[in-house]
Amino acid sequence: MASRLEAQHLYKVFGRRPDEAVEKLRQGADRDELRAGGTTAAVIDASFTVDPGQIFVVMGLSGSGKSTLLRMLNGLLEPTAGQVRFDGEDLTALTDRELREVRSKKISMVFQHFALFPHRSVRDNAAYGLEVQGVPRAERARRADEALALCGLAGWEDSWPDELSGGMQQRVGLARALATDADLLLMDESFSALDPLIRRDMQDQLLQLQKTLKKTIVFITHDLNEAMRLGDRIAVMRDGRIVQNGTAEDILLRPEGDYVASFIQDVDRSRVLTAESVMDREVRGDEADCGCETATPHTPFTELCALSARLPHPVAVLDEHRELVGVVPRGRLIGFLADESDAADAPPVTCDAPRGKGGKDGKKEAARA
């Protein structure tokens, strides 16, 4: 599958003699060394690809270079070095006019503090991108109404922005991006200003929309839980560099370096892990089916726990051909939850205690747990 978006060795340096600074960075200098000379290396040697229909999340602390990276992806900022390819076309080689054309038709951006025009109706706000493209009034109203409905705002088309809550206003921003039919959505901290519950609702809505619309999305956030919920892939940025690029599971189970490892301490692992990530793969094949409930490789961790609580034996994980691809003993679930995934593979420790009143039966109880 050809990638839709590709960043190749992107650099952005603000300040004097940027080319010289890039050379220094290529030779291993870091941000702090350059800052001493009055230049800011906002993005350093960023390379990644985003496939069609993927949500690619860029995660990092404030100042790590996320917004600068995003602005280079749609040509709002010119890279100091490196290339951006969108559908095979080198954006950095386009003229300003060609770039504006690509930006208005194929790429949409949703910002953190989405500013609506206060004297335009919700419909006209959602239709703004189409107006810029010169789409006739009736068609833009129709398309804006469709996009508003997708974002759960049917019935609000003739309202004014100040009649909407913050979350609803943010959804108008999303509707504006969707109305243009752009293939590529760039979302910069689009949900960060929202209350936690509304934010979660927006995340759900985006995932739901994505199932049918299958846009290519680059989503910026400083929240790792949000990154893990939304991202098919996640790039973690630190001081201008991408320090890890992988799936949520890669980042959670195989963090590269102390920095990423320190980040994942606060992540709710049960939201990310699935049967596939925790199952014991040694047990496979065509096992006899005892008729109990089973899991699939995609069964979420919490569902797996519930299943495990109901079953007297490890949960069987079956693929789409109903072949056994692994099993999940209860101890493994607890091990992964407590970040003791290695312990799950260790040989079981034998111990007679605690004993129940009935001696032998007590042992059985302990073994069953």
Residue numbers at the binding site for ligand ATP (CB under 6 A): 14, 40, 42, 60, 62-68, 222
2 in Cβ contact with 16 (< 8 Å): no
Binds 274: which of Mg ion, ligand ATP, none (CB < 5-8 Å by kind): none
SS3 299: coil
Say how many residues touch Mg ion, by CB under 5 A. 1
d(CA 134, CA 280): 57
d(CA 207, CA 210): 5
Q: How far is the CB of 64 from Mg ion (least distance, A)?
A: 9
196's tokens: 């936690």
The residue sitting closest to Mg ion, measured at its beta carbon, is: 67
Nearer Cβ to ligand ATP (65/255)? 65
* Cα angle for residues 47, 50, 56 (degrees, 5° grid): 95
CA distance 336 to 334: 6
Q: How many residues does the chain have?
A: 369
Token pair 């839980």 is found at 225
CB-wise, 66 or 269, nearer to Mg ion?
66
Instruction: Give which of ligand ATP, Mg ion, none residue 40 binds (C-beta under 5 to 8 Å, depending on kind).
Output: ligand ATP
* Element housing 335 (H / E): helix 330-337
- Asked if 253 and 247 count as a contact pair (C-beta separation under 8 A), the reply is no
Closer residue to Mg ion in complex, CB, 237/260? 237
Within 119-158, which residues bind Mg ion (CB under 5 A)?
none
Tokens of 307: 């299943």
The binder of 42, among Mg ion, ligand ATP, none, by C-beta within 5 to 8 A per type, is ligand ATP
SS3 of 110-151: ECCCCCCCCCCCHHHHHCHHHHHHCCCHHHHHHHHHHHHHHC
Least distance between ligand ATP and beta carbon 68 (Å) = 3
127-154 in b/e burial notation, b at 16+ Cβ within 10 A? bbbbeeeebeeeebbebbbebbebbbbe
CB-hemisphere CA count at 13 Å for 19?
0
Between 67 and 210, CB nearer to Mg ion: 67
For Mg ion, which is the closer residue by CB, 123 or 241?
241
Q: Nearest approach, Cβ of 187 to ligand ATP (angstroms)?
A: 13
Closest distance between ligand ATP and the C-beta of residue 32, in Å? 11
Q: Which does 14 bind (CB under 5 to 8 A by kind): Mg ion, ligand ATP, none?
A: ligand ATP
Residue 60, contacted partner among ligand ATP, Mg ion, none, CB below 5-8 A by kind: ligand ATP
The minimum distance between CB 31 and ligand ATP, in angstroms, equals: 8
Q: CA-CA distance, 170 to 125, in Å (whole number)?
A: 11
CB of 147 to ligand ATP, least distance (A): 26
Nearer to ligand ATP, 14 or 160 (CB): 14
Each residue 39-68 as x (binds Mg ion by CB under 5 A) or -, in order, gives ----------------------------x-
Nearer to ligand ATP, 241 or 269 (CB): 241
The interface partner of residue 62, options being Mg ion, ligand ATP, none and the CB cut-off 5 to 8 Å by kind, is: ligand ATP
Minimal distance, residue 205 CB to ligand ATP, in Å: 23
Residues with Cβ within 8 Å of 168's Cβ and at least 6 positions away in sequence, in order, are 153, 156
Nearest approach, Cβ of 45 to ligand ATP (angstroms)?
A: 15
Query: Given the rule CB under 5 A, which residues bind Mg ion?
Result: 67
